[in-house]
Structure formats: structure tokens, C-alpha cells
Structure 1
Amino acid sequence: MTSVPPTADPAIESAVSEAAAIGIPSALADLGDLVRIPGIAWPSFDQTQLERSAERVASLAEGTGVFDEVRVLRAAIPGTDEHGQPAVLATRAARGGKPTILLYAHHDVQPPGDDALWETPPFEPTVRDGRLYGRGAADDKAGIMTHIASLRAVREALGDDLELGVSMFIEGEEEYGSRSFAQFLSDNADALRADAIVVADSGNWDSTTPGLTVSLRGNARFTLKVRTLDHASHSGMFGGAVPDAMMATVRLLSTLWDADGAVAVDGMSERDAPTPEYSEETLRDEAGLLPGTTPIGRDSILSRIWNKPAVTVIGIDATSVESASNTLLPEVTVVISARVAPGQTGEEAYAALEKHLRANAPFGAELTFSDVDLGNGFLVDTSGWAVGLARQAMADGYGKDAVDLGVGGSIPFIADLVREFPDAQILVTGVEDPHSRAHSPNESLHLDTFRHAVATEALLLARMNAATV
């Protein structure tokens, strides 16, 4: 049982807030240094950059003066003889009967994509119009620096009175599927066990209004190969009688959605939950929807994003436009990414998708499924004391009450946290806003959002330091 006062001492809170504000310039400078390191977990990229990134994060953790021990570790990838990417684990034991908090973020980033689409180089941090641009500036190196900056602030304000237990886990392969995450938790369970866990890898309602993520969709991603011929054939000689793989693939994929663009797969569920007001105009602005393009789906826009499934074809292997010839294709391969409504498992959703596709394969096309990657969604128990502390800290740090958010994206490893630490309260926060463009060219961090996020987390830590267990 945890006893939590509504606030810490007002003088301490004032000192923490002042230290957090003063520390922003150095935190942003450190963030810029991290952005310059192109740490990408895909094997086709230079893996030594991830080692550089992990060592830099470890140095920042040591520099806070908070931790008893800081280590760079790797965990095995289950079912293989490989190890995952370097992660940073920093630990500090609780003193005086105080609770322990676990702070999570990740230091790996998405590939930059087409450099020509970036207005400034992806790994050269650039400030313009109140935003810091660069790959990882928001997702998720800003999450790392929120942790570091808030720890610096409470350490400076509290000194030896900081008795809160703190663990910090900065992962190195979140963007590449967190393949060793579950094993890392198992290997380091004692060091990671906490009363509350802050996952700084989500977003906010907008650049000035904080969000506390209370639901996340799961995911089911897989590769589908469609074959109709054992070799390519002349389209003039046999077209009209022989179904080529592209025709079969187009016909098959079209069955995944109804006329409104909503998912039409029996067995993929929806969640019934209220959503805040959110207009089509806001959707157009935040998503970049073209003027002549209409939204898809039914019911409120946020219910479509937060509470319903989505299916997207995210990759295709077929003859390129440059190599096109009058040929019937024997096979086409696509990658399908489904977002799964909170409350349904990734396994259940994938089973429904596979059943649907097999049942609707046109012309007897041969289907092969591979590279299946599944993750479960997440629903927060909002009744816990840590959630209450987080809401109040957000209200004080941003000057506005937090909005409870559902997120259309997925953070599958949270299910691993729930399984490994069932008694911990999980707080999903973040520094992104709807214009951060995570995973896209011109990713950016709103600087005022970052300042507010640091102030919020510093106050949360100070208030947890005033609690007892």
C-alpha cells in the first residue's frame, strides 16, 4: 500500500520547477548531440552507431549523479543465437521506505527514408519556428532527455533528500520490433521492478495540452505471397484466360475493406468507448489529407483511430514501373500491417485475417503467410494513485488538465511489462504532438512541449519522493 500526499513541500516543488526550467538549454544541447548519432537497428545500417548512442546515453545517466550503477547490456533474442541491440540500464535503490519508479524510452530511431524529402539533413538538428527538426528529435530521444532533465532537476533541488528509487531502461531496438525486450525484462527483473513505470514514447493532445495515454491498439503484421502461375507468361498470348498474380492480389486485398473503407474482416473486434470531440478539419490538418480526399470509416473520427481495427498494405514486391513488360506475373508479395482494437489480442486478429484471406482467395490463388509479428494492445487502470499523481503533475507542468488519449499506434512491449510486473502502475506519456511527424521526413519536437514535459516529470518525481510504501 502506498501513501501519497497530494503535493511535496511547496518550497521543494518551487525549487524543482525552477531547476527544470534552468536546465532546458543544456537538455536541448544534449538532445541535439543524440540526434546527430544515426542509431538505426536495421541490420543494413551501421550498427556501431547504436553502440555510440548507447554509450552517450549511459554517460548522460551517470552525469545526473542519481544512479548507483549504469550499465550497457544486451539480451538474447529468444529462439536464435543472436543478441539484441545495446540498451542502457541505470539503477538507484530506494531509501527510507520510498517507492521506486522505472523510466523507459528508446535510443534507436527509424531510418530517415528519402533524404530529398527532408528540408534539412535528418541527422543535423535544426531549430526553426519553435521546433527542433531531426530524426529522433521527438521519437524517442526527446523521451530520453525528458528523463535526464527531470532527474537533473530533482537531484539539484533535493540533494541528499532524494530517496526515491529510480531505474531507467533505455532500449536500443524499439523501432525494429523489440526482439530481445521480453528476455531483457526477465534477465533484469529485480533491477527493473517498480511501483510505477513511465513509458515516455507517446504523444499529447496538441502542442500545449498534455495527454495521458490510456489505451493503445495492438498490431498484427505479416507477409503474404500470392501465386497463380509457375512461371511468367505473355500477357497477349494468355491474358483474358489466365489470372495473373497481380489481378488476384488486387481482388483479394479489396475484400479487406467495405465501401466506406472500414475493415470488413469477421472476427476483428471493436471497442465501445467515448472519445473527445475531434473535427474532420483537424484530421485534415494533422494527417495532411489532400483536399479532394475523404476520410474512411464510420462513427466518430477518434473512435476509428483509437477503438477500431485498421488494415494497411505497407509494402509490395512486384515488377517495377521501370521494368514493366507485357507479362502475366506469377507471384506478388505484400506486407500487411493491421492495428488491433484494444481488448483483442494480436493472435486473435491475425487468425481472423488469415481465415478471411484464405476464404476469399480468387481463382484458386495459392497463398503463403510468413514473417508474422504480433503485439497486444493496452488499457490503463486509471484508478491508481500514480495516475492521479501524473494527472496533477501534467496540470501543473503544462498549465492545462490532461486529456485521456487513445493511440492508434502500438507499443506491443507494454504487454511484456504488464506480464512481468503485474503490480506496477504503467503511465504512458510522451513529448510528441500531432505535428511531430514521427517516422516521417521532417520529424520534429515542439520546444515548448518539451519544456512542459520536463517540468511535469520533475514534479512527478518530487511528489513520488514525498510518498511512502
Structure 2
Amino acid sequence: MTDDLTKKLSAIVDRDFEQTVSELEALVRIPSVSWPAFDPKHLDESAAAVAEMLRETGVFETVDVRRAREGDTEVWGKPAIVAHRPAKNGKPTVLLYAHHDVQPPGDDEKWETPPFEPTRKGDRLYARGASDDKAGVISHVAAIRALAETAGDDFDLGIAMFIEGEEEWASKSFGNFLRENKDLLTADAIIVADSDNWDTETPALTVALRGAAAFNVRVETLAHASHSGMFGGAVPDAMMAAMKLFATLWDDEGAVAVEGLTEADLDVPDFSEDELRRDAALLDGVTPVGTGKVLSRIWAKPSISLTGIDAPSIANASNTLVPSVLVRLSGRVAPGQDAAEAAEAIQRHLLANAPFGAHVSFEDTDNGQPFLVDTSGWGAETMRQAMADAWGVEPVDTGIGGSIPFIAELVEEFPGAQILVTGVEDPDTRAHSPNESQHLGVLRNATLTEALFMARLNERTL
């Protein structure tokens, strides 16, 4: 039976939902791509827009756009928004995280609608960043408004907010930002609204995340390009060596074949090959890879992908042996293994298996730690109940094959906080891909979930 609090918050969320969607549409019109090749003024514009929305809620004592330096460098990171209101009367503080930067749009020709012009089709809103993660930002804002209307502006719950501006560019200033703003960001529970749901009808609490081990691999065989007719057949070119080398990373079934990479012992729900084919858009006749349960392969085992290659394009191809090839390798690390250890294992494998004596070197390593969530605390219990009440369906504990490396930094900086990884995505969101979209029913339910969670924390004394 639905309680009065759920009814009140549900009515507010539904009443204001068109405003919520309109605000999301306005935010995604700002092409806030954090990659260096894109105009940084859009990140400033996006940060300013988010900060203004937070000020308009009227609940925060502090709302600022701030930056921190990247590691030990003098390079400033991208603009992030920090907001804070202190807890009163022994109530807890919750930190709400999301990010306002987005991935590049990619090939415009593969978009059915303009990537930065939000377009509604049925229950979905299409645009780059509509889901990942500007819907996460908007769900925070709408939930705070619903809470303030229900509990009054002078409610006791403490709220901190951190809306990052470089999640899609490796969160390079994340650690420094946490340390420099720790007085405003310290919390008892942290909601990271940047994950997935089981489907559009079933909420999920993410309890396992793979880590990341990515780097560039340079393969060289010649000091300069040589004529393919004069020397082909006797001299190995870098493209040949690279193809033979990278083929050793997987066995005949497509499972990773690198000594030193581990897998986690996770209980996973059933998920059929047909469901995998549908969600991943496998072409007819293309078979899945790996062994074991489908979700175990995605959540609990390592994977290796080659995501980019610098080599002569077909338009610029000449009849020469290619002297050097640069490939971007993206590894996913199973929960329980150190990301740096996994990267070293992959690099050892590549050095040991270089064909024809090819020179192999590594550049631009970028590691992120995997994460296992402790779901035994009051935070997870309260979140699960809020999900069940908002969605009308019991939530599912899930793993994610992707990575959110900065969570390890949150744990390090705030070891006493309960981490809750939620999200506004669903299997057809297509985050990072052309035709990214946000399911509006999921946005509504995610907003109500968060409003319920905060309203119940407002009644809880630590």
C-alpha cells in the first residue's frame, strides 16, 4: 500500500514533469564536450546553467563553479559545480553526484536527429547527453525541489552536490577537487547517478563495477616506409605485426587469454543469449564471445577491446610497408583486481608475444579501479525501498561491465560514507553512441526515487 509521503512526492514529480523535461532539453542544447578538441566555452556555459538551477531551488547556502588542477600539474581541470547546505538536528548529509560534460557526438550521419537538438519520439528524448549524464543532473534538481515543497525549505537533511565537468575526459582533477572542497562534500551517503537500470520497468542498484586499464600500444618494424613491391614478402610491416600480436590477446572462443588477469566470484542473474543479441545489437550470424554465464562475462571477467588505430587511411594509402602503427587498447578489470596490476599483465603479454622482433612500446596509460559496493548498510536498504515505492517493482542488484573509476577516489576520501550507484539509463539508452536517448518514464521514476530517499533520510537521526 502506498504511503502518504510517496503519494505527495509522486504528485509533485508528476505535476512538474514537463518543466523537468524542458530543463533537460535546454541543458542538452549546450554541446558541453570535455575533450580537448572541442570549444571549452560550452563547458563554462553548461556549468553556469547548472549552478543557476541549483541557486533557484533556494535550499543551498553555497553554490559555486570551481576548478582544481590535474594531479601534480599546473593544468586546470574543467569547471565543476559544488553546492552545500548543512545538516541540522542530527540528520545525515547526502552527497549527490552527476556530470554535466558529454561525449563527442561522433559521426553526424549516424544520428537520426541532430545530436544537440533534443527530439522527443514516443517515450524517449534523443540527444547527446540526454541520458549520460544530464538526466542525472536534472533528476537531482527535480528531486530537491519536490523534497523542499514536501518538507519545507527549512528541512533538516544536509545536502551536498558535486556536478563534475570532465567525467568523459578521465576525471583528471577529480581527486584534487575532492580534497580542496572536502568541507563542503563530506557526507554520510553518496548517490552516484551515472549508471543503468535493468530495463525501463525495473530499477537497479549497481553493486559491482569493472575497472579500466587503457593505454596506447605502438608497434614498429621499420625506420621508414618501404616499397611494398620491392620488399613485401620478406620484410614485416607494422600492420602485419600488430594484427598478429593483438590476435594473441584472445583464445579461439574470444575469451581474454592474458596470464595474470583475474575474475570475480559474483552471483549473476540469468540473461539469455537472445537478450544479449537484442541489447548489444549483434548482427545476424555474429556469435557472442567468451564462456560462462553471459552476465558473468560482462560483470565479473576481464575484457580487452581495441578502440582506435592511427595508421594511413584508405584515402592516403600508398604501396608502401607501414613502419609504425599506434593502437588504443581498452581493458576492463574484474572487481577485486588492482587496475595497475592488470595493465602490467597485459603489457607483459604484448612484449612477450611480439612477432618478428617488432618493437612494442606503451603510451598514455589511464587506469581506474574496479568497485564492489557494500550493500549491508542503511543507505542501500533505504534506497531499495525508495526504488520499490517509486517504480512499483522490486529493484535488482546489478553489476556493470563499464567503469566509473572515480568511485575508488570517493571511497578513499570519504571512507565512512555509504556509496549508492544509481542511474537514469536503460539497455536502449545507447550512451556514448549515436542516437543516445533518455526514456522519460525512467527519468520520472528515478526522480521520485531520489526524492523519497532524501525525504526518508530527513526523518532519520544518525
Query: What TM-score, normalized by structure 1, do the two folds share?
Result: 0.97
1:248 pairs, out of 241, 251, 259, with 241
Percent identical? 58
2:44 equivalent in structure 1:
51
Cα deviation, 1:248-273, whole Å, max 9, x if unaligned, reads 10010000000000000000111111
Aligned-pair CA distance for 1:10: 4.4
Matches within 5 A, 1:279-290: 279-290=272-283
Please state how far the C-alpha of 1:160 moved relative to its aligned partner: 4.1
Shift of 1:320: 1.1
- 1:184-225 CA deviation, whole Å, 9 max, x = no partner? 001011110000000000010001100100000000010011
The answer to whether the 8 Å contact 2:6/2:389 transfers is no
Post-superposition offset of 1:34: 0.2
1:3 aligned partner: none
In structure 2, distance between residues paired with 1:52 and 1:94:
30
Q: Distance in 1 between matches of 2:153 and 2:434?
A: 44
1:344 paired residue among 337, 340, 350: 337
Q: Does 1:368 align with 2:348?
A: no
Amino acid in the other structure paired with 1:107: H
Separation of aligned partners in 2, 1:231 and 1:69: 58
Provide the rounded CA distance (Å) in 2 between the counterparts of 1:46 and 1:445.
25
CA distance in 2, matches of 1:184, 1:61: 19
- 1:451 maps to what in 2? 444
1:399-442: per-residue Cα shift (whole Å, max 9, x none)?
Answer: 10111010000000000000000000000000000000000000
Select between 410-419 and 13-22 the one with higher mean Cα deviation: 13-22
Q: Is structure 2 residue 269 aligned with structure 1 residue 276?
A: yes
Deviations 1:15-63 (A, max 9, x none): 2222122121111110000000000111211110000000000011011
Q: Which residue of 2 aligns with 1:168?
A: 161
Task: Give the counterpart letter for 2:277 in structure 1.
Answer: R
C-alpha spacing 1:437/1:130, structure 2 compared with 1 (3 Å): same
Mapped partners of 1:187, 1:450: distance in 2: 32
| Residue of structure 2 aligned with 1:327, choices 320, 327, 340 | 320
Within the candidate set 390, 402, 425, 1:397 is matched to 390
Letter of the structure 2 residue corresponding to residue 117 of structure 1 = K
Match of 1:314 among 307, 311, 321: 307
Alignment match, 1:203: 196
2:122 pairs with 1:129: yes
Q: Aligned partners of 2:306 and 2:340: how far apart in 1?
A: 19
Which residue among 380, 393, 396 is the counterpart of 1:387? 380
Partner of 1:122: helix, strand, or coil? coil
Q: Structure 1: state its 5+ residue gaps.
A: 1-6
**Which residue does the alignment assign to 1:79?**
72
1:154 aligns with 2:154: no
For 2:341, the aligned partner's letter is E
- Aligned partner of 1:100 among 64, 89, 93: 93
SS at match of 1:183: helix
Change in 2 beyond 3 A, CA 1:160/1:64 = closer
Q: Which amino acid aligns with 2:91?
A: K
Does the 8 Å contact 1:17/1:458 carry over to 2? no
Specify the code of the residue in structure 1 equivalent to 2:357.
G
Return the alpha-carbon distance in structure 2 between the equivalents of residues 79 and 403 of structure 1.
Answer: 40
Shift of 1:12: 3.8
- 8 Å Cα contact 2:58/2:153 also seen in 1: no
2:16 to 17, 23, 36: 23
Q: Distance in 2 between matches of 1:185 and 1:220?
A: 23
Tell me how far apart the structure 2 counterparts of residues 127 and 328 of structure 1 sit (CA, whole Å).
50
Contact 1:95–1:163 (8 Å) recurs in 2: yes
Instruction: Give the aligned length.
Output: 462
Alpha-carbon distance in 2 for matches of 1:355, 1:228: 19
Q: Does 1:460 align with 2:453?
A: yes
Matched residues in 2 for 1:394 and 1:13: separation? 11
Structure 2's unaligned 5+ residue stretches are: none
> 1: distance between equivalents of 2:407 and 2:312?
39
Compute the TM-score of the two structures, normalised by the length of structure 2: 0.99
| Per-residue CA distance 1:245-302 (angstroms, 9 max, x = gap) | 1111001000000000000000011111111111111111111100110000000110
1:39 paired residue number: 32
- Aligned partner of residue 252 in structure 1, secondary structure: helix
Partner SS state of residue 152, structure 2: helix
2:239 matched to 1:261?
A: no
- Root-mean-square deviation (Å): 1.2
- Name which of structure 1's ranges 320-329 and 172-181 shifts more when overlaid on structure 2: 320-329
Cα contact 1:245–1:330 (8 A) shared by 2: yes
Indicate if the aligned counterparts of 2:6 and 2:390 stay in contact, CA closer than 8 A. Answer: no
Q: Which amino acid aligns with 1:289?
A: L
Does 2:128 align with 1:112?
A: no
Structure 1 residue 91: Cα displacement: 0.2
Residue range with higher mean Cα deviation, 77-86 or 373-382: 77-86
1:397-436 aligned at under 5 Å gives the runs: 397-436=390-429
- Find the residue that maps to 1:127 and give its secondary structure: strand
Aligned to 2:211: 218
2:67, 2:81 → 1: CA distance?
A: 9
1:161 Cα deviation from its structure 2 partner:
5.2
Q: Is the 8 A contact 1:94 1:100 kept in 2?
A: yes
C-alpha separation in 2, matches of 1:387 and 1:340: 25
Distance 2:70 2:236 in 1: 42
Aligned-partner SS, 2:316: coil
